[in-house]
Chains A and B, each alone.
Chain A
Amino acid sequence: KAGVTQTPRYLIKTRGQQVTLSCSPISGHRSVSWYQQTPGQGLQFLFEYFSETQRNKGNFPGRFSGRQFSNSRSEMNVSTLELGDSALYLCASSRVGDGLANTGELFFGEGSRLTVL
């Protein structure tokens, strides 16, 4: 069974540019959530999508956005990149249900490491 796949694994951008990251969940998983991980702030929740709808959003500015397609694949976009956006962006998928609490397990990808120069 294939795991969660994130692309690209590494990328370098400059300030002011935008970036799109992709996440392919485990087959059959309809919930996809995104996280930002930095040395200073640790793991922070960005947003979660279920059946193409954003169900919840963390405390991030509007420059961070996402979407989910009918095949459950998800993308997140960061516009007008800032130096502080340099981070590891993690995606996780989980089984159908009422959400994370009822499934009990998140399956994480290996992340996309973004460096903003």
Chain B
Amino acid sequence: DAKTTQPNSMESNEEEPVHLPCNHSTISGTDYIHWYRQLPSQGPEYVIHGLTSNVNNRMASLAIAEDRKSSTLILHRATLRDAAVYYCILLNSGGSNYKLTFGKGTLLTVNP
């Protein structure tokens, strides 16, 4: 199964950009890269996902390396509400027999 590797923790200042990396060197061609975040005492919340091309939405941007062995979640201007654990997840789209692989997550601290 493909696995992901993320730094245990990162720190940022408010209103500065944050780049959260994820390594997935054994990713397969049918694995989608998903990012979720989990605030304290809440269930995970969807952030963004992509397959090969970079993606943008109102919450963040996802930059995917050309070889797809790594990706970076970009928060353009961190706020205190962005403090959470961020998970990089691979979802294999192989028909109905998909598989999920969770990273350990990165704890993001945002300083005021």
Show the binding face of A for B, using Cβ within 8 Å: 4, 33, 42-45, 48, 50, 55-56, 58, 90, 92, 98-102, 104-111
B30 / chain A contacts, CB cutoff of 8 Å: 101
A92 / chain B contacts, CB cutoff of 8 Å: 43-44
* Nearest CB in chain A to that of B101: its residue: A45
B93 / chain A contacts, CB cutoff of 8 Å: 98-99, 101-102
Across chains A and B, the number of contacting residue pairs, with CB separation under 8 Å, is 63
Are A98 and B95 CB-contacts (below 8 A) given A43-B87, A111-B43?
A: yes
Number of interface residues, chain B, beta carbon within 8 A: 25
Would you call A101 and B32 a contact (CB within 8 A)?
yes
Bound: A106/B91 CA distance, A: 11
Would you call B44 and A100 a contact (CB within 8 A)?
no
Q: What are 21 inter-chain pairs, A to B, with CB distance below 8 A?
A: A4-B43, A42-B103, A45-B102, A50-B96, A55-B96, A55-B98, A92-B43, A98-B95, A98-B96, A100-B91, A101-B30, A101-B32, A101-B91, A101-B93, A104-B32, A104-B34, A104-B46, A106-B44, A107-B46, A109-B43, A110-B41
